[in-house]
Amino acid sequence: EFEVVAARSGKVLRVRHDKSIAETLEEAGLRPLLSCEQGICGTCLTRVISGEVDHRDTFQTQLEKSSGSRIAICCSRARSRQLVLDI
Ligand code: FES
């Protein structure tokens, strides 16, 4: 379990182990852009303001992943206790 801050609305959400970040945002009434929901298409890529990402997508390159600047919210998770996202 980790925390996501949706910076544009200021919402602070707990992401349970059996839910994706995208599902958690939807449950909170937000409407993230999604398509494949499998980490393939890149539609859901969201800018990371702070926090460390546990990348699970196959869309971004290793270089992009190590920069940690964007996260595929349909499948990736957090290594840090909190992620602040530009959404
Ligand atoms: Fe396709 Fe997330 S919706 S990578």
Would the CB of 2 count as within 6 Å of ligand 1? Answer: no
Please tell me the distance from the alpha carbon of residue 52 to that of residue 71, in angstroms, as a whole number. 10
Please report the DSSP string for 3-19 in residue order.
EEEETTTTEEEEE-TTS
Rg (CA), the chain: 11
What is the predicted pLDDT for the residue at 4?
98
Chain segment 24-46, per-residue pLDDT in tens: 999 999 999 999 999 999 999 99
Residue partners of 83: CB distance under 8 A and separation at least 6: 2, 3, 4, 5, 21, 48, 50, 51, 52, 53, 71
Would the CB of 35 count as within 6 Å of ligand 1? Answer: yes
Would the CB of 7 count as within 6 Å of ligand 1? Answer: no
Closest approach atom of ligand 1 to CA 40: 4
Task: Say if the ipTM goes beyond 0.95.
Answer: yes
DSSP, collapsed to helix, strand or coil, labels residue 21 as helix
Q: How far is the CA of 35 from the centre of ligand 1 (A)?
A: 5
Minimal-distance CA residue to ligand 1 atom 4:
39
Q: If we measure between CA atoms, which residue out of 69, 47, 46, 45 comes closest to residue 59?
A: 45
Average pLDDT, the chain: 98
pTM, rounded to two decimals: 0.96
Q: How far is the CA of 57 from the centre of ligand 1 (A)?
A: 8
